[in-house]
Amino acid sequence: MNITVPNSAPNDASLNTQVITGPLSNYSGELQVEVVGGEASGAGATAEVTIRGVRYDITGDNTGNISVDVRGGSADSSTGANSGATAAITIDGVEGTLEKDNLGAISVKGTSQNAVTSGSGKASVKVNVKAIDDRLIGDNLGTLSSFAQAGTATALGSGNADASVEGFGTYLSIKSDNVGTIKAEGYAGTAKTGTGIAYADADITGIDEDLEGENKGLIDIISKGGQATSESAGNVDVYALAIGVKGYADANSGSILVLADNRNASAITASGEAKAAADAYGLYGDLQTSNTGLIDVVARAGLSKTDGSATANSKALAVGVNGSIDANSGSILVDADNRTVTAKSAGGEANAAADAFGVQGNLQAENTGRINVFASAGQSETVGNGTANSATLAAGVKGYIGANSGLIFVRAAGEGAKATSENGYVDASAIASGTKANLNGENSGEIDVIARAGAASGLRANANATAFGVENTLQGTNSGVIRIEALAGTAESDGTTGDGADAIASAVGVNNYIRGSNSGTVYARGVAGKATAKGALSAEATANVYAVNNGVEGENSGSLIALGYGGTAEAKGSGNASSYTRVMGLFGRIEGSNTGTVFAETRGGTAIAHGSGSASASAEAIGVYLGIRDTGAGEQPDNLGVVRALGTGGTASSVGGPAYGYADVTGLDGSLGGENKGLIEALAVGKSAKTQANKTANAEGLAVGVKGDAEANTGTIFVRATGGKAESGDAAQANGGARAFGIGYVEGTTRYGIEGDFTNSNLIDVKAVAGTANGVQDKAIAYGVVLKGDATLDNSGLILASATGGAGSETYQVHAGSNALTVTSYGILFQDDMEENFGGTIQADDPAKVTFDSATLHVHHSNSTKVNEAYVVPDLVAGKDVQQFTALNADGIVGYGWSAEAVESSWNTKDQQIIFRYAPKVSSPQLVAQQQRGVIDATQRVGARLLNDLMLGQEAAESEGLLLSYDGQPTSDAAKAVADMAGVKQPVEQYGVFYAAPLHLYQSNGFEELGYSAHTTGVLTGYNRVISPELIIGANAFYGHSALEFDGVYDQAKESVNTYGFGVQGAYRMDGVLFSAQSTFYHTSNTYKDSSVQAKESYTSQNLLTRVAAQYIWEHGNNTFTPEVGLSHLWHSRGAFSVDNQNAPDVRYDAVSNHQFSVDASLGWTGTYEFEEGELKANVRAGLRQILGDGGFEDILRSGANGVVYVTNDVDQTLARVSASLDYTKGNFGASVGVLGEYGEDTTDTAFFGRMSYKF
């Protein structure tokens, strides 16, 4: 049906009608209506079209097709002042209820044209379309579609102009399911007004109330604003709103696609309010059960501009589910994309912010799917006192989450955002959260969050970045990954009386407790930006980072990582400049044991204060703030993992205020309730602090391993503090010192530390190196263990303390203060400067309060320990000259060959003495050299077998007129006759033979002191050239890899060897005697590992193995017997190298060059048989090899300060040699398999090989 709207009057071309009037019991027909609007002009001109496909209810199903398409007309009342003009369109596919199912298609489309007014008259080309203007009681199994496109509305005077669109799939609810398609599109037009209000907004909704059933199909929404302009004070609005379901839905297993796109929209006014915002919602209410499908929501704002003091609003908001959701196993994808957006206001607020939420309410059960949320703000600019807002906010779930085993991926990507105001507040911050409330169950999935701030310039500037994984409590355990990053931007406060600039980074993995255990990863990283303040107050570019901003109530077997780095802060006026950092793995305690990793690293930034303000670029790092302990009465937890805290101060300078560039680092800022069996490390490095005033300049390095009590240490506590450079107008206020504490802490009269029994059986290593204060080295303090109360010390390990500094420096391994100390054992490292390192190393206000109760001396050694020289045991307590020890324990002497003993005559005196010995009996590199000789010997024996085959083949060719067993064709009878008459041998032409032989060796050495088992796999390739019946020459190459495991004194050591060899060989026959020679040069690349001393080292060697032999050939029928004698020479050369042991003295091996000679004798048998038109040979050989002289290689081992030992390894002098193989040749091809071996009293070498050869 086609309708052209007629004119009832010149100013009236309107239409209001319906095609079918109901109610209908059902509809199954084909209704296609096309309407073309008319033209109206004059006062009150109207070309409005209102049309309904079906009016009133359809009480049954719709199985037909209803299509209404309107192309609007035009209305012009510009010749009549103050009268309106409308060319609006209203379309209803069905104006009533569809009481059962829609199985067909209901489609409405309206496209308006133009309307013009003058004076105060309103111009409207608004389009309103609805597929169903009421409820759908049944299911939608078909298609509901609406399309609205507005034209141009022009109000030349003070009237309003409206070019907006509204579109709906259903205007009210759907009571059942959507299985089909609901598609709604709206494109606003152009609205222009002189002094009035201009509307070019778009409001598009799929279902305008609840979806009481499930969406199993497609809901596709597109909303785009137009262009709105006011030449005076009128407001302009091109707001785009897109909603999939404007209420709740029971479930979603289909697709909900929503786009509010104002990228090409603009709202421009001379002095009114400009709005080009865009809001998009997948569901505006709850999703009552689960999402197993797709919800994809995008919002993009447009250009807003006002030249007055009103607001310019280009904010984008995108929400997947605006209420709560029971569970998600599908995908929720949300993007508020304002990257290309600009909002400008001359004197008011300019807003180009972007907010995005995956779920605005709670995710009540579990997320097993994917929630992706992106937000990116645009450019906001205001000239006067107004606020410029380019903030970015993104959250996966705004409420709580029941549990997460899926992916929550959040990006507040504001790096391209820019906010500028001359005299107002500017915000280009970014905030991102995985969930803004609790995660009530377990996280076994991934939460990945990044916030990046942009650039802000104004009176008060904010370019902060804030990121949270879980913004409150994680009520269950974490076995997944929570990864957080906050990257601040650039902030500049440029007003002469500016309030300051902030470019602060705050990153928190979990912002409260982890109520269960952590076996996953929590990673938080914050990087401050750049802040510049020209006014009176502050510039802050600080970083605050916490992996967990409270405690872990269970165990930690995973990783808790916090990294924070300061930025650059400059206060050009009288304000403060801050680029300090505060970083913690946990801002609480671990109440269970730690078997994982806690890591905190930070670096202060750069702070410059040009006036009287302070400059702070300090760095604070804490592994665990309240220690590892249980507040209950149960068994206390241990540290079996790693706790590391590293901090480096920044650079701070101030003209008239204090300056801080210190580093304050603590591993456990509380007690260790149980035992440290792992690693606790604290490293602090002060950097630079400078002030021109008589104020504080602090560049101290302060490091503490455990700031509290501990039961025992069987692991390692490693503490380093380094002072920086401090300069002040008052030298007394400059601090470039260093303080390091292993366990405990002393600050004036305040003491933390141990009380009661304490055992150390491993290592506490504390070192402080002072920096400078006004050019003079400051003091350094290093205390290994601090006592808080009376204590008993059992120290079989080492407590090492070292302080390098100026006047006032102190070094104590134990600082008792006024407390009583009983020593039951003490470990001493014997090396240079014994008196300096251990004399008076136990501090006591009253030496009489330190007693040695039948104490045991535990001796330790190092690379500087001397052998064969007696050490005097120092007096550990200053002013206490007594016999300190009654027993000696040398269990701390590790490393092969080392031992320690008391000088007996001194033991019962006050001057007790200890002497060390170094006497190894074997050398593992020489044992490996013998093993490698066996490998190369096996390759030579495989090659020798082929030389014998070729020479015996030559004999057969001469005597029988055959070429070789490689060639089955006999020499011709004519050639034989000529040769017989001439009385000469049959000529044999020259030819070559290429061969390849893979082999595998098993070798073992059962020497009691040091043995090994080794497996070698390699391949030998070569080429032999038959020059004449008497002469063969050739060359070969070899690669092999050996894996050795040692036993005996090196039972925890292994070695791998890559061997590269190249050799030559030849054979010459003189009658019945065969002479042969082989020479192989081989290079080895060795890697040695020893877990007992935690060593790994590599070295190389060069070797040459040469053998000459003679054998007699005696043939009897098919049998050949070959007795043989041989002489071998091995040259072995190795450069010097060292093995760097971690908990024992290093061992240095001198360069060596060794020679070994041996002779061998054997008897071989070969049987030759015809088989399958080829030749089969069986070979057996047995004999002995005798090493001449002692046979062992000499090595020179050095260890400690002066230990030198010459070592010669024992070897088996006499060895039995056997081999057996089967060779088969046919034509030019040959193949062989075999085994060979060499066996002594303690040595076994067995090789299995195959060989392929080809004659050409």
Q: How many CA atoms lie within 13 A of 1019 on its CB side?
A: 4
Task: Return all residues near 88 (Cβ < 8 A) that are at least 6 apart.
Answer: 48, 49, 72, 112, 124, 125, 126, 127, 128, 162
Domain co-membership, 775 together with 889: yes
User: How many Å apart are CA 960 and CA 969, to the nearest integer?
Assistant: 12
Domain co-membership, 876 together with 774: yes
Look up residue 837 and give its amino acid: N
Which residue, 906, 934, 960, sits at the end of a domain? 906
Domain that includes residue 864, residue range = 760-906
Q: Which of 310, 332, 311, 195 is nearest to 255 (CA)?
A: 332
Are 367 and 328 within 8 A, CB to CB? yes
pLDDT at 956: 47
Domain co-membership, 1019 together with 887: no
Domain co-membership, 828 together with 951: no
CA angle 1245, 1250, 1253 (to 5 degrees): 135
Look up residue 287 and give its amino acid: L
Q: Do the domain assignments include residue 161?
A: no
Report CA dihedral (99, 101, 103, 109) to the nearest 10 degrees: 50
Tell me, what CATH number does 1072's domain have? 2.40.128.130
Q: Do the domain assignments include residue 778?
A: yes
Which residue, 906, 939, 965, sits at the end of a domain? 906
Are 722 and 759 within 8 A, CB to CB? no
Alpha carbon of 493 to those of 572, 583, 656, 1056: distances in Å?
Answer: 10, 27, 21, 64
Q: Do the domain assignments include residue 855?
A: yes
Total tally of structural domains belonging to the chain: 2
Q: Could you write out the DSSP letters of every residue in 951-985?
A: HHHHHHHHHHSEEETTEEEEPPHHHHHHHHHHT-P
Cross-strand bridge partners of residue 24:
58
Q: Do the domain assignments include residue 630?
A: no
Are 126 and 151 within 8 A, CB to CB? no
Domain co-membership, 884 together with 957: no
Domain co-membership, 890 together with 951: no
Burial label for 808, CB within 10 Å (0-12, 13-18, 19+), is: exposed
Asked if residue 23 has a cis previous peptide bond (ω within 30° of 0), the answer is: yes
Domain co-membership, 837 together with 943: no
Determine how β-strand 521-527 pairs with β-strand 559-565: parallel
Q: What is the mean pLDDT of each run of 10 residues along the chain (1256 residues)?
A: 94 97 95 97 97 96 98 95 94 97 98 97 98 97 98 96 98 96 98 97 98 98 98 96 98 98 97 97 97 98 96 98 97 98 95 98 97 98 93 98 98 96 93 97 98 95 98 97 98 77 98 97 99 90 98 96 99 94 96 96 98 97 93 84 98 98 98 95 99 98 97 97 98 98 95 96 98 98 98 97 97 97 97 92 96 96 95 93 94 92 94 96 92 95 90 55 39 44 53 96 92 97 94 97 94 94 96 95 96 85 97 94 97 95 91 95 96 93 94 90 92 95 94 97 96 94
pLDDT at 1139: 93
Q: Do the domain assignments include residue 330?
A: no
Are 391 and 353 within 8 A, CB to CB? yes
Q: Mapped to the 3 state alphabet, what secondary structure does 1106-1132 carry? A: EEEEEEECEEECCEEEEEEEEEEEEEE
Q: Which of 396, 372, 596, 641 is nearest to 478 (CA)?
A: 596
The one-character DSSP state at 925 is H
Alpha carbon of 1111 to those of 1033, 1162, 1182: distances in Å?
Answer: 17, 9, 13
User: How many Å apart are CA 253 and CA 243, to the nearest integer?
Assistant: 18
pLDDT digits (tens, 9 = 90+) for 642-691: 999 999 999 999 999 999 999 999 999 999 989 999 999 999 999 999 99
Task: Return all residues near 974 (Cβ < 8 A) that are at least 6 apart.
Answer: none
Give the H/E segment covering residue 834.
Answer: helix 834-838
Domain co-membership, 881 together with 813: yes
Domain co-membership, 769 together with 896: yes
Q: Where are the alpha helices (DSSP H) in 885-969?
A: 924-960
User: How many Å apart are CA 626 and CA 550, to the nearest integer?
Assistant: 9
Domain co-membership, 1054 together with 1178: yes
Are 178 and 138 within 8 A, CB to CB? no
Which residue, 872, 906, 940, sits at the end of a domain? 906
Alpha carbon of 460 to those of 417, 527, 625, 749, 764: distances in Å?
Answer: 16, 21, 34, 44, 49
Look up residue 1156 and give its amino acid: Q
Domain co-membership, 1083 together with 1037: yes
Q: Mapped to the 3 state alphabet, what secondary structure does 366-402 carry? A: EECCEEEEEEECCEEEECCCCCEECCEEEEEECCCEE
Q: Do the domain assignments include residue 477?
A: no
Q: Do the domain assignments include residue 315?
A: no
User: How many Å apart are CA 1012 and CA 1086, to the nearest integer?
Assistant: 15
Give pTM, 2 decimals.
0.86
User: How many Å apart are CA 310 and CA 348, to the nearest integer?
Assistant: 5
User: How many Å apart are CA 1250 and CA 652, to the nearest integer?
Assistant: 73
Domain co-membership, 892 together with 941: no
Q: Do the domain assignments include residue 826?
A: yes
